[in-house]
């Protein structure tokens, strides 16, 4: 194995294939993910059975569930050519985007291919863009695009090609605010969908990361925000969610209540998600629906 470079080498990183595997959207996993982002907190809410109960007539994969496949890409970056050695505790999940081309039927086995699509120098660190594609044969179901910030390895001078900016929410009062309660064991539940980073369960590891207690997964907050938008703007029609893009701005402690503040502009639902207890904005972004809502 060749020695690690002392500085990021963009030409070696861009286009590097991180891995290829398969992921099956089994009944159990579909239900577990949906429970992890807050469906069926009321066990008698039959509308939620669509995502949690395999015998429901419309049992479906919730549109943000494909993000669980990004773990394949994250694991591969530790052996990337062109990337210097770094402390995993310096890795932050900065942004997450999912582009849904068509609903994934329950039971589908998707091929997942992950690669480094871009890298940018942010001075204090490097911003890696990881893309994971989900396909079955000739069918392309989704692309998952995650941006990972690695502190301490900046200064290599390449500003990258991906200049997409998540717009700020409109400067007006929200059109709607959803309250999403998280239980104190929510991170323990959500990690069973694949992200088993001990930061989310082990108090000692959380302390090493500078937190007073284990924190909730950013992708759980992402899913909770999507759930709130789905229930308000396209209930019963999850296929209407085409794109969801979000930036993670702070952490959430399990047990906190999240306020998902939404602003509708045509087929775009802009949002900010904040903690009710601390008033801290933890995520911001937008959902693009397939068609403009009829008022």
Q: Of the candidates 164, 193, 228, which is a domain's last residue?
A: 164
Strand partners of residue 91: 150
- Give residue 140's domain range: 1-25+61-164
Q: Which of 85, 70, 126, 58 is nearest to 1 (CA)?
A: 85
The pLDDT value recorded for residue 295 is 56
- The one catalytic residue in 104, 195, 217, 269 is 195
The pLDDT value recorded for residue 72 is 63
Same domain, 10 and 121: yes
CB 131 within 8 A of CB 117: yes
- The one catalytic residue in 73, 76, 82, 218 is 218
What gap in Å lies between CA 173 and CA 191, rounded to an integer?
34
Q: Is there a domain that residue 48 lies in?
A: no
Q: Is there a domain that residue 1 lies in?
A: yes
Same domain, 180 and 234: yes
The pLDDT value recorded for residue 61 is 98
Q: Is there a domain that residue 44 lies in?
A: no
Same domain, 156 and 274: no
Q: Is there a domain that residue 136 lies in?
A: yes
For the question of residue 15 being annotated catalytic, the response is: no
Q: Is there a domain that residue 74 lies in?
A: yes
Q: Which of 287, 224, 230 is nearest to 256 (CA)?
A: 224
Q: Is there a domain that residue 39 lies in?
A: no
Q: Of the candidates 164, 198, 220, which is a domain's last residue?
A: 164
Same domain, 112 and 179: no
> What is the sign of the dihedral through the CA atoms of 280, 123, 84 and 69?
positive
Same domain, 82 and 156: yes
The pLDDT value recorded for residue 2 is 60
Same domain, 159 and 181: no
Please state the domain count of the chain: 2
CB 146 within 8 A of CB 95: yes
Q: How many CA atoms lie within 13 A of 215 on its CB side?
A: 19
User: Which CATH number fits the domain that encloses residue 100?
Assistant: 3.10.129.10
The pLDDT value recorded for residue 111 is 95
Q: Is there a domain that residue 185 lies in?
A: yes
> What are the distances in angstroms from CA 157 to CA 25, 117, 163, 216, 247?
41, 17, 15, 33, 23
Same domain, 16 and 150: yes
- The one catalytic residue in 144, 215, 229, 269 is 215
Q: What is the pLDDT of residues 40-81, one digit of tens each?
A: 999 999 999 999 999 999 999 999 999 998 776 677 888 889
Same domain, 176 and 126: no
Same domain, 79 and 145: yes
CB 271 within 8 A of CB 260: yes
Same domain, 100 and 207: no
In this structure, how many other beta carbons lie within 10 angstroms of the beta carbon of residue 228? 25
Strand partners of residue 179: 259
For the question of residue 195 being annotated catalytic, the response is: yes
What gap in Å lies between CA 235 and CA 225, rounded to an integer?
14
Q: Which of 154, 4, 14 is nearest to 85 (CA)?
A: 4
Largest Cα separation within the chain, whole Å, is 60
Same domain, 129 and 6: yes
Place of tokens 């863009």: 129
What gap in Å lies between CA 174 and CA 273, rounded to an integer?
11
- The one catalytic residue in 93, 200, 217, 251 is 200
Strand partners of residue 259: 179, 274
DSSP three-state, residue 217: coil
The pLDDT value recorded for residue 3 is 73
Chain-centroid distance of CA 135 in Å reads: 19
Same domain, 230 and 122: no
The pLDDT value recorded for residue 75 is 76
Mean pLDDT by 10 residues, the chain (295 residues): 80 93 96 98 97 98 93 78 86 93 97 95 94 96 95 93 90 97 97 90 89 94 98 97 97 97 97 97 98 72
Q: Is there a domain that residue 53 lies in?
A: no
Q: Of the candidates 146, 164, 182, which is a domain's last residue?
A: 164
The pLDDT value recorded for residue 106 is 98
Q: Which of 149, 160, 113 is nearest to 18 (CA)?
A: 113
């Amino acid at each position: 194995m060749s020695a690690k470079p002392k500085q990021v080498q963009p030409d070696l990183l861009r286009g590097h294939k991180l891995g290829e595997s398969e992921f099956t959207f089994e009944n159990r996993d579909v239900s577990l993910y949906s429970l992890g982002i807050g469906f069926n907190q009321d066990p008698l809410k039959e509308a939620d059975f669509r995502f949690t109960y395999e015998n429901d007539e419309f049992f479906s994969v919730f549109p943000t569930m494909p993000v669980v496949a990004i773990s394949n890409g994250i694991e591969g970056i530790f052996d990337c050519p062109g990337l210097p050695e770094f402390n995993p505790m310096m890795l932050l999940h900065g942004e997450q985007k999912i582009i849904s081309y068509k609903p994934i039927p329950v039971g589908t086995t998707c091929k997942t291919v992950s690669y480094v699509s871009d890298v940018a120098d942010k001075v204090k660190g490097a911003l890696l863009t990881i893309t994971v594609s989900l396909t079955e044969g000739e069918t392309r179901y989704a692309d998952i695009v995650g941006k990972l910030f690695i502190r301490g390895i900046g200064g290599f001078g390449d500003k990258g090609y991906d200049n997409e900016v998540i717009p700020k929410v409109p400067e007006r009062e929200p059109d709607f605010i959803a309250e999403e309660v998280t239980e104190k064991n929510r991170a323990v539940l959500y990690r069973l969908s694949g992200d088993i980073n001990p930061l989310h369960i082990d108090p000692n590891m959380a302390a090493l990361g500078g937190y007073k207690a284990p924190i909730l997964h950013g992708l759980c907050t992402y899913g909770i925000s999507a759930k709130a938008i789905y229930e308000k703007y396209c209930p019963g029609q999850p296929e209407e969610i085409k794109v969801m893009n979000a930036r993670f701005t702070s952490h959430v402690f399990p047990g906190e209540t999240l306020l998902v503040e939404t602003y509708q502009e045509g087929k775009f639902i802009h949002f900010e998600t904040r903690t009710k207890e601390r008033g801290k904005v933890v995520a911001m972004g937008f959902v693009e629906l397939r068609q403009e809502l009829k008022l």
